[in-house]
Structure 1
Amino acid sequence: MKYLLALFLAVLSMTPSAQTVAYRVETVTGGLEHPWSLAFLPDGRMLVTERPGRLRVVEPGPDGRLQLRPEPVAGVPPVLARGQAGLFDVLLDPDFANNRRLFLSFAHGTPEANHLRVVSARLDGNELKDLRPIFTSQPAKSDTQHFGGRMAWLPDGTLIFGMGDGNLERTDAQRLHTHLGKFMRIRPDGTVPADNPFIKRDGALPEIFSTGHRNPQGVVVVNGVIYAHEHGSRGGDELNRLTPGANYGWPITTGGVDYTFARITPYRSLPGITPPLTEWTPSIAPAGMAWYDGPLFPAWRGSLLVAALAERSVRRVPMGSDGTPGPQDVLFKELGERIRDVRMGPDGAVYLLTDNEQGRVLRVVPASP
């Protein structure tokens, strides 16, 4: 009864705002198998990862319209694709226009012994060359759940990315000898910055930036502020502001319960635990995330856009100047699609990836010019 009351109050507190913005949704291309991440190349093309392990190019066809190149990019490293495991994020180097380097995150290994791996590579035509592994999570874990994998650049040129708890020994998210349930920060060559928060802690892995995460699925850096979200269990999805060395509570604090409705912990908050900026209960299953500040939708400027798998929507979370989330909008539910990624394009449009065996790239623009 207490859980049901908390659930009811949470739903009331998360009622979306009534603001209406007219838009239309266009299909850029289909033919993608469980697309996971989208990146825009300087020449107007796009890169899309497919969870089974392919990197695809979307480019202008003979008629000038964007279309999917039939041949995947060659040179992608072997990917463990089973369950939630697969090829995850693609992120361009800040100096991509000159060095052509990009970064991929993916599941590496076997179902019985696997890791989150991050590599850098150089895009040469339709092939990856000069592949360099720069991070492999430790220790190996079994099963194929809760990998995280989203990446973002910090203003100092370091790379931040999240990893899930593996969904087996969830308390590893609180232990510093393992990468499970953490955000990591490294340099582009894989070395560890000297100012990482746990670098001088005996027994701690030096890459760790923050702890207490269940399954991070989105990270965005806005004017140096790091926003990240993660899946809860049954409820308790979180949007957090990350700071070095902070503990975000999983599994000793959470607003959710287990999938069996069993209690995970009696605590929603504890001293020393950084509380979420907002929480989604019931769970929306947040996926990709973007910051919108483009010209096409003035009413959406200054908002986080959060893709949602279970809710089949995008949550618009307006952020106040003090970093406080405002009333939310639920967008694109009429599509009836699991939304895996959301991005703001160079043209100011909103781009979506739909998560299914016949996945699409969608473009959202104002309803009238």
Structure 2
Amino acid sequence: MKLKFIFAIFLTFSMSCIQQKKKNDVALKTESQSYKIEEVVKNLSNPWGMTWLPDGSMLITEKDGRLIHFKDNEKIEITNVPKVYNSGQGGLLDIELHPNYKENGWIYMTYASEEGLGEGGHTALMRCKLEGNSLTNIETLYKAEPNTTAGQHFGSRIEFDNDGFIYFSIGERGEREVNPQDITRDGGKIYRLNDDGSIPTDNPFYNEPNAKKAIYTYGNRNPQGMAKHPETGKIWMHEHGPKGGDEINIVKKGANYGWPIVTYGVNYSGTEITDETTKPGIEPPIYYWVPSIAPCGMAFVTGNKYPQWNGKLLVGSLKFAYVELLTLDGEKVTNREKIAQDIGRVRNVKMGLDGLIYIAVEGQSIFRLIPQ
């Protein structure tokens, strides 16, 4: 009887933590913070990127190539969006405002583009301005080449650092044996540009013959999360491993993150890629997941809305349909919690202008967490 009683208590606690079928009216609780999940933007297809204009309205990229302006509870489709290569994992990807957007009006987006050499597409970075319901002043700042019809690993996330440089990620496009370790080829890299698209002369490979001078790091697989640390200003990123071995890394000038020379994962078939997880000259991850959670979207919790979570790291999980809340001690992960469990395939997670956590879910909506 005593064992049955203990099991009943455990079952009740577990069910209270994961029951989220009615997302709009069920209050949930973690060890340190109660919250309610509220639906904000309904009936979305694949909301890849999201950001907020100064008036509090949202810009949302849909992978199929649509840019949505959500204002006053209305979804307005923006016109004059560049044609995207909507194939496999490619499409209209991330979106970010210039840090001085109020003064210059620049909006930055990454997307799969058909422009350039070869059939298919590859990731491009552009900037533009929004006038009314149309994009203007469109400029392509970087276009990876050559194009390929492969459907995987376009990346891509965008982040600015405290000095105004823009960082963006491009996956290795499924060509792991040739792209990530070769600085003369695009793919499997983090890139760094000035805000006008010019290349900083202090980039690590700027003076290397034949190198892609915009490269800042290499040996990456498919980074789909990037965020600036609110205190140190360092750029953090995460990337998909194969079967196992998703990683959190901190972007360091000229660093090699090892793919596919070292990995904590294996092929999807279960066969070995390499027996090495570390190697001299290769930057180790500050954290890795085995099994993979398929991370997408990344943000640090800031502000005063979630006092018990302040400074923790949010990472969305496509595979397991929740948001991971990571406790940090400096640059070390010390604890993991699952929040917003069973919400759906999390494509992005960000902090909104209102100080609330927003979660973009494939095939559904954008939600936010309301502290209780």
Which residue is equivalent to 1:360?
A: 365
CA contact (8 A) 1:112 1:143 kept: no
Mapped to 2, the partners of 1:232 and 1:79 lie a distance apart of 26
1: CA distance, partners of 2:185 / 2:228 = 25
From 144, 147, 150, the equivalent of 2:154 is 147
Query: Over the residues paired in the alignment, what is the CA RMSD in angstroms?
Result: 1.4
Greater mean deviation of Cα atoms: 257-266 or 103-112: 103-112
SS of structure 2 residue aligned to 1:189: coil
| Pair 1:324 & 2:329 matched | no
Contact residue 171 and residue 251 of structure 1 kept, 8 A? no
* Residue 142 (structure 2) aligns with: 135
Once the two structures are superposed, the pairs formed by residues 221-300 of structure 1 within 5 Å of their partners are: 221-222=228-229, 223-300=232-309
Distance (Å, rounded) in 2 between the aligned partners of 1:326 and 1:126: 45
Q: Is the aligned partner of 1:157 residue 2:164? A: yes
User: Which of 293, 315, 322 is matched with 2:324 structurally?
Assistant: 315
- Offset, 1:363: 1.2
Structure 2: stretches of 5+ with no match in the other structure: 1-29
**1:48 alignment partner in structure 2:** 60
CA deviation map 1:233-288 (0-9, x unaligned):
00000000110000100000000000011111111110111110110111100001
Which amino acid in the other structure matches residue 329 of structure 1? E
Amino acid at match of 1:101: W
Counterpart residue type for residue 250 of structure 1: W
Identity score, percent: 36
Q: Secondary structure at the match of 1:173?
A: coil
- Give 1:21-100 correspondences, 5 Å limit: 21-60=33-72, 67-69=73-75, 71-100=76-105
Partners of 1:263 and 1:221 in 2: CA distance: 34
Tell me the distance in 2 between the aligned counterparts of 1:100 and 1:172: 35
How many residues align structurally?
339
Per-residue CA distance 1:142-186 (angstroms, 9 max, x = gap): 312100110000111111011101113444100011121000001
Q: Indicate if the aligned counterparts of 1:232 and 1:256 stay in contact, CA closer than 8 A.
A: yes
Q: Which residue of structure 2 lines up, in the alignment, with residue 107 of structure 1?
A: 112
Amino acid at match of 1:98: E
Match of 2:355 among 318, 339, 348: 348
Secondary structure at the counterpart of residue 179 of structure 2: helix
Q: Distance in 2 between matches of 1:267 and 1:104?
A: 36
Q: Which amino acid aligns with 2:331?
A: G
Indicate how the Cα distance of structure 1 residues 366 and 81 shifts in structure 2: closer, same or farther if over 3 A, else same: same
Rounded to whole Å, the distance in 2 between the matches of 1:68 and 1:148 is 29
Are the aligned partners of 1:30 and 1:68 in contact in 2 as well (CA < 8 Å)? no
In structure 2, what is the Cα distance between the partners aligned to 1:202 and 1:100?
36
> What is the distance in 1 between the residues matched to 2:130 and 2:293?
35
Q: Are 1:118 and 2:130 an aligned pair?
A: no
How far off is 1:319 after superposition?
2.0
Distance 2:263 2:178 in 1: 13
Q: Contact 2:320 / 2:342 at 8 angstroms: preserved in 1? A: no
In 2, the alpha carbon distance for the partners of 1:122 and 1:44 equals 17
- Letter of the aligned partner of 1:119 in structure 2? M
Determine if contact 2:176/2:260 at 8 Å carries over to the other structure.
Answer: no
Tell whether the 8 Å contact from 1:31 to 1:68 is kept in structure 2 after alignment.
no
Residue 16 of structure 2 is matched in structure 1 by none
* Alignment match, 1:214: 221
Contact 2:35 2:371 in 1 (8 A): yes
Is the Cα–Cα contact under 8 Å of residues 162 and 182 in structure 1 kept in the other structure?
Answer: yes
Q: Is the Cα–Cα contact under 8 Å of residues 293 and 318 in structure 2 kept in the other structure?
A: yes
1:68, 1:318 → 2: CA distance?
36
2:74 maps to amino acid: L
Aligned equivalent of 2:315, options 306, 322, 341: 306
1:3 equivalent in structure 2 = none
Residue ranges of structure 1 left out of the alignment (5+ in a row): 1-17, 61-66
CA distance in 2: counterparts of 1:133 and 1:297, whole angstroms: 38
Aligned residue number for residue 14 of structure 1: none
Alpha-carbon contact 1:294-1:344 (below 8 Å) kept: no
Deviations 1:95-135 (A, max 9, x none): 11122210110001189331111111011111100100000
Q: Normalising by the residue count of structure 2, what TM-score does the alignment of the two structures yield? A: 0.88
For the Cα contact (< 8 Å) 2:52–2:59, is it kept in 1? yes
The DSSP-based 3-state class of the residue aligned with 2:365 is strand
